[in-house]
Chains A and B, each alone.
Chain A
Amino acid sequence: MEPILQLRGINKSFGAVQALRNVDLEVYGGEVVGLVGDNGAGKSTLIKIIAGVYAPDSGEYIVDNRRVNVTRPQDATHLGIETVYQDLALCDNLDVVSNLFLGREDTISGLPFMNSTEMERRTIDVLRQLDVKIRSVHVPVSALSGGQRQSIAVAKTILRNARIVILDEPTAALGVAQTRQVLQLIKRLRDQGLGMVVISHNLADVFEVVDRVIVMRLGRRVASFDIKSTTTEQIVAAITGAEFSNGIDGQGASVGSTASVNGDEGADDGNHPAYQHESGKGSIQ
């Protein structure tokens, strides 16, 4: 099984700040990848590169084993890679149907008139498919709860036939019940074969929903864990770069690859071990 999306050796600088150093990332269909790291670790920069908001200084962007050029957001969406930013990009004054179809409304055979019945039908279909519950598809999204709004933002990507969905802190502003709702939605999409990348500062959420965790620190990918054989302490240690940590970069704790939670910030161009993905991970069929 090949990853849908692969990044190799991504570098990105903002002036003197090197936000990403030689970062690799791979996302398979049917798995949820957690992207964790302290503030300023480079998570947002990395997903903006995936989304085509920033172009990397160097590195490869590979989709379905083919090198592609992604320099604009449209490039990413054409490849089926959709990003839900923290602000959700919803129009609060518009109803659910209008938000789902914003910018790509169904029209009546070539005329500039909207085909609202068709849009409504498809909205109901997709919400049912994702098991999102709302009172009516005609309420303005401002009247929805935070969890419902997040769900609507995700449903938008599904309507566009996303294969990879990237979520930036999807549960940051949510209460317990709503967080549960969104995590359920993420699992459901994973079960439907989508690849998901979830940025989160909440390790409880990470353990709840993620199959694999990638830890970033100071612009590097410093560790990668299979969630089933990992403890919170290991992840925290990798995030903070604690001396005593024994996080394993590579294939989760079971694989005895070289430990590479590098404490030496001096070695800027230190090579990471290759992240060859092995088959047989529980989450990947």
Chain B
Amino acid sequence: MKTTVATPQADQAPSTAKGFNVGSIFRQDLGQIPVAIALILMALYFNATTNDLFLSARNLSNLTLQSCVIATIGLGSIMVLLLGEIDLSLAVVANLCGAVTCIMSVFHHFPWWAAILAGLAAGFGIGLINGLIVAFLRVPSFIVTLAASLGYQGLLLHILLPNTTLIITDPNLKGIAANYLPDYLGLGLPILGIALYAGYIILTRVRRLRQGLAVPPLWQTGVNLGVTIALVALVLWQFESYFGVPIMTMLVLAMIALFWVLMRFTTFGQHVYAIGGNAEASRRAGINVNVIRVLIFGLASMLAAAGGIFLSSRSADADVAVSPTLLLQAIAAAVIGGVSLFGGRGSVWAVVMGTLVIEGLENGLNLKSSGDDTKFMVEGAVLILAVIVDALLRRRSTAAGR
């Protein structure tokens, strides 16, 4: 009964070449190279047509500030999209929680940090409720969050009654969007981040060598680190040519980095991707799918709340009028950056690319004094393009499956 196990050409079993090259970093963590190229072309075009205004240090600094709200809410929408769900209430939740922070600060005289915590907690709570309805009552998330967004718009109107806006007085709250970090933080934090990243790469290399696993050639690791350092240095140089690194920009980047670590290196993040890929298989693998769903909706709404607080800080008030394009732009930022609407695919860093495309267009067209008509049409076209690419990629990957 002995069978022939030998197979002809026994090419040594599974190869392990882990893609540690620049290309894979872009693909996995910064969206896609095509998006990066489009971004560079767009920047060059706007710069050429605005007398070098677009790429001036001042404009770039402002561009990052304008991007913060969408990037933060976009980060929240990525969480939900990775699960294969969608949250249409994020923009309203953002305004609502921004208003909560303002009310706590103005009427209840909370210190700035307590007011912020109150806003974030409100967001988390709202998200948990959405998540509970989606996970346990099995109502499709788009309808739950659509209904929620209507309800919370009402609540927003209600808590600001009898006014429609509420002016912030606390200088610390206003300062988030208005102030810049001192150099020891503005330069120190990025350097710390780079050092941690380099340490991680080197440690991984050592561990893999010790385990007898394949490692990329040393020059590749070097190029990878070199490019990262060069990029960060370029950005810092731009910031330092103006007033320094804006507080809000740093906060957003820190949040993205934090969520990247959560999603990429922890079992929790791994399970989110797994659920987005195949919820039933995840459940059978013993993953508590419902608990993760609820938590992700909570985290997403908390991020939306942070976005709302940034929004209030920038405009120095809370407003009942929610920008009609905010939600779409946040989701678009995710999708343009390569996060799939079908779940389970894309990196947290996608939001950087996606937001820069959207806000870059907005900013550049503003500099060229184009009207809303042009802006909406261009942004709409870009979004459609991104969604088509997503659908095509998905079709290719499912076709390869069989």
Contact = CB atoms under 8 A, between A and B. Distances in A.
Contacts of A19: none
Contact of A92 (B11, B211, B268, B401): B401
B369 interface: no
B211 A90 contact: no
Contact of A93 (B213, B271, B277, B280): B277
Contacts of A118: 211
A131 B3 CA distance: 14
A172 interface: no
Contacts of B282: 91, 102-103
Contacts of A229: none
B18 A138 contact: yes
Interface in B222-269: 265-268
A131 B13 contact: yes
Contacts of B207: 117
A133 B204 CA distance: 25
A284 to B, nearest CB: 9
A185 to B, nearest CB: 10
A123 B14 contact: yes
B267 A89 contact: no
Contact of A133 (B11, B270, B284): B11
Contacts of A114: 265-267, 270
B276 interface: yes
A175 to B, nearest CB: 11
Contact of A112 (B267, B273, B397): B267
B266 A135 contact: no
Interface stretch (A139-147, A196-204, A266-274): A139-147
Given A74-B286, A128-B13, A113 B265 contact: yes
A188 B5 contact: yes
Contacts of B18: 120, 138
Interface residues of B, number: 46
A282 B259 CA distance: 58
A116 to B, nearest CB: 8
Given A92-B397, A102-B285, A118-B211, A283 B1 contact: yes
Contacts of B273: 91, 93-94, 98
Interface string B199-216: 000001001100111000
B274 A136 contact: no
Given A120-B16, A136-B14, A107 B204 contact: no
Interface string B1-29: 11101010011011111110000000000
A149 B204 CA distance: 28
A233 interface: no
B13 A127 contact: yes
B211 A107 contact: no
Nearest to A127: B14
Contact of A136 (B15, B267, B277): B15
A124 B344 contact: no
B402 interface: yes
Given A127-B14, A140-B397, A89 B281 contact: yes
A216 B42 CA distance: 67
Given A102-B281, A117-B204, A123-B14, A146 B5 contact: no
Nearest to A32: B1
A187 interface: yes
A138 B19 contact: yes
Interface in A65-82: 73-74
A98 B345 CA distance: 14
A110 B207 CA distance: 18
Contacts of B1: 211, 282-283
A191 B277 contact: no
B270 A142 contact: no
A98 B265 contact: no
19 contacts: A87-B280, A87-B281, A90-B281, A92-B397, A94-B273, A103-B285, A103-B287, A112-B268, A113-B267, A117-B204, A127-B13, A127-B14, A133-B13, A135-B15, A136-B14, A136-B15, A184-B3, A184-B5, A188-B3
Given A91-B281, A127-B13, A133-B13, 17 more contacts: A89-B278, A89-B280, A91-B344, A93-B273, A96-B14, A103-B274, A121-B212, A124-B14, A131-B10, A137-B16, A138-B16, A140-B397, A149-B401, A184-B7, A187-B5, A191-B2, A191-B3
